[in-house]
Chains A and B, each alone.
Chain A
Amino acid sequence: MFGKKNNKEKEYRQPLNLRKEIKLFPGYILVGLWVAFTIFLLVWIVAASFSTAPEIMRGEVFKFESGFHPENYVNAWTASNISGFFMNSLLYSIVTMVCVILISAPAAYVLSRFTFLGNRPIKSSFIIAMSIPQVMVVLPLFSLATATHLTGSRIVLILLYIGMQVPYTTTFLMTFFQNLSRTYEEAAAIDGCSPMMTFWKIMFPLAQPGIITVGIFNFMNIWNEYFISLIFASSADTMPVGPGLKSVLTSMQYTGDWGGLFAAVVIVFLPTLVLYIFLSEKIISGVTGGGIKG
């Protein structure tokens, strides 16, 4: 279910060594409890999202006494405008994901391939930028958005998201271009291909594994973003799922529609969870790749 296992792990699996397994028993217990809790939490939320409010209050979400209630999802999707937030998030995440790659991949390529004045300072500024707290940059960004009359538009959010992800993405992709052989470029040059064409036609496709990883990673980051959208998307029309779900939460607490609330929660986390279930190996490699060294 969680991606393909590599060969190293297969080696561990073949012989069932009982003595070794017994030694590892405490480890199984600890990890098992933690994992069981995580899964139970998710399963309960999904079960609750198909139950009615009285059932949830009585703590009987797994009995389904009054049957399944998929209408909770219909209510959440239409009545509380989750659909709008969902579409906004989809738009922001996809546009940002594509634009960041188009901006960062060329930059990463020249930074990793050529030596020129300013190469090192640029690389280190990108690394520093990754640990700059958002509190430090958000105020001037807000005044910049006001000055350019962009506040309240979808464009401003997309631009901010792109800027936010550029340092990480560039740093991550640099290692991928470093590992590509220079013979590709030499061969292309002999055939008369210009350096820029060489990049787009040959090097960019070759870095595809890295580009896909970092793309999914950026998609998830934007989907889960909260603070920037809270400030720059103040109206319900432009709000993504983060602040959107919070507003649903506030209103649902008064209406007491618990089933609808949990359905909204599920709708919000389902896209990233589904991506993760299919691509967990890739996503995990994205966490430890790139900027993290040690």
Chain B
Amino acid sequence: MKQNKKMIVCFLTPALIFFVLMFLYPIIRTIVMSFFKVEGVSDAVDTWQFVGISNYQKLFATSIFQISMINMGKIWLIGGIAVMAIALLFAVILTSGIRFKSFWRAVIYVPNIINAVAMATMWIQYVFNKRFGLLHSMFAALGLEDLAGIDYMNGSWKFWSLLIAFCFGSVGYFMLIYISGIERIPQDYYEAATIDGANKLKQFIYITLPLIKGVFKTCMTFWTVSVVGFFVWSQMWAAPQASDMQTITPFVYMYNIVFGTTGNVQRDAGMGAAVGILMAVVVMIVFFIVNKCVKDDDLEF
């Protein structure tokens, strides 16, 4: 018994040290920091000035932050509906007994294993390129000169081109989660339904959907986490600038006010911390709502 105790301590300590240093301590410090006026990130604690909730008030009054929140909301809602729908559709198709299933599945997941900077470069420099891009040459070949002339990397198009590229890459990941959920449903449910005369659509609505509710919950949480962490795509679309009003997200805004090198933004680490807290609150709210709305009934299968 004594030997076991020694082993538990020895085996657990390294992981716990990393956990405390990488998560516990930073979270607490970020929460505290968000209530103080702090200019530079690494300023000593005794230079911090307690300001209550004024960091949050200032944030909500800042128009750039408002825009970034709206952008994030649009990505979450519109992108979320598109990604969840396409991912679920593909998951259903791939589990319907289609041939070469592993091949399709593997290729659809490919964008997730490619470095996001490389992926974004392909989209920006090739698909959306206004001179030799895929969309340009496709529309030009079809004789649609108006569509061929669109610059997807400018103006209001910028947000949509970003959203399309980001969603394209996300589908594979959520598809895998849906597939694993669907494959856990016993096959005899469908056989029984087929015998009773239910068609594929009915089977999907009355068997598949109710039984993957739990998976949907997981997907919503993961989607929210990934939208809150929306950073590299936004930066790539704004390049060579640090950010762009069309594509800015709270994460990018935080980066600009804390680590920004462009002169016009005033540095404010306290406000940056407040952004971090707000993002965590967003994730928690979504998690809470999803858990309230989608009840886990204790289905055993």
A residues with CB within 8 A of B: 1-3, 5, 9, 12-13, 20-21, 24, 27-28, 30-31, 34-35, 38-39, 41-42, 44-45, 48, 56-59, 103-104, 106-107, 109-111, 114, 116, 122, 125-126, 129, 131-144, 146-147, 160, 162-164, 166-167, 170, 194-196, 199, 220, 223-224, 226-227, 231, 241-243, 245-246, 249-250, 253, 258, 261-262, 265, 268-269, 272-273, 275-276, 280-281, 283-284, 287-288, 292-294
Contact = CB atoms under 8 A, between A and B. Distances in A.
A180 to B, nearest CB: 16
Interface of B: 3-8, 10-12, 14-16, 18-19, 21-27, 29-30, 33, 41-43, 89-90, 93-94, 96-99, 101-111, 113-119, 121-122, 125-127, 131-132, 134, 137, 171, 173, 176-177, 179-181, 212, 214-218, 221-222, 225, 228-229, 231-232, 235-236, 239-240, 250-251, 254-255, 258-259, 269, 272-273, 275-277, 279-280, 283, 287
Contact of A139 (B93, B101, B240, B269): B269
A250 B98 contact: no
A103 B16 CA distance: 10
Q: Kindly name the residue among B6, B89, B98, B171 whose own CB sees the greatest number of chain A CB atoms within 10 A.
A: B98
Contacts, number: 280
Given A20-B97, A114-B4, A2 B108 contact: no
Contacts of B27: 132, 136-137
A167 B23 contact: yes
A107 B19 CA distance: 12
A231 B259 contact: yes
Given A147-B42, A292-B180, A129 B15 contact: no
B98 A135 contact: no
Given A139-B272, A268-B118, A163 B113 contact: no
B22 A283 contact: no
B280 A136 contact: yes
Contact of A48 (B6, B16, B119, B126): B126
Nearest to A126: B19
Given A27-B93, A34-B108, A241-B115, A139 B26 contact: yes
Contacts of B111: 38
A132 B180 contact: no
Nearest to B270: A139
B254 A135 contact: yes
Contact of A195 (B3, B171, B276): B3
A198 B97 CA distance: 44
B177 A284 contact: no
Nearest to A128: B23
A24 B95 CA distance: 11
Contact of A122 (B12, B218, B273): B12
B286 to A, nearest CB: 10
Nearest to B171: A34
A280 to B, nearest CB: 4
